[in-house]
A and B are shown apart, each in its own frame.
Chain A
């Protein structure tokens, strides 16, 4: 039978080995999540709609000075022209506002600004939003063209990595307008 002294010694050795081994893997995991998140944000096309486009000599490109900050607050959109079928959707030149049968949607500010972006959000808020297609997991529905039916298939780990990366990008203060309902419903006063 081990004595108490021996038991304590073994416990200390085990604890020390965990402490030595614990920090570097944790840091490596965080770095890996950040890299994974950046990769996923890039290839999933988040910048296509959440970063305002600007016109360059090479054509329209995402303005990375306003990376992932959503529809610019200062750009007040007039009513969209009614498309002639089979055209259905109208997009702003910034590619951050879209008019269609659902009304008018504006892309969200994904930067970690606490008042206008995701700065106060938790990873649970983010995961539930994507998983349910509802704002914060329980509010209004997220509107097209946000590809919720595809993105809801991200794994929890992928979503956590994306959120980790989004919390690391430069803060941009930009209050995106609320979406507008379809003109027919607005006329009916709903």
Chain B
């Protein structure tokens, strides 16, 4: 979060323009798009995959996919960064679906420590970004256990059973927290501020 960044709306407009250029196979525009988004998307991939080499491979595949499908973005109704982030998240989750790709126990423990260090990070940055102010407000209104289980699942790509293991709670309980938390978030986000 550096101060010389364009405001969220200006950034979104710029990214949409670069995607349109990439659809026309403008490689310079695509390089600019990469420069503006790669660190965000690499962060997303690394938090979910927890392995540098996997995250690099997935990021490469995702940018090739974005290059090949930039034209399809025109018919999407999403913000550019939302569209690109979803491509990365989905590719990461596909990657983890392969049974042989499960992180080993040791890496898992290291990763857990890392989360504990940065666990206030995402929430703080969220509050700093006006774009996400509503989401931050609504996240804060959740019960702590709902908020934590949603963050572990969404932010770190944990499955229900991994969240349950991490929070030392029964699977059914965790599923309920996630489901109720999401319902409350939706209601809160659709209410006027």
Asked whether A and B interact, the reply is no
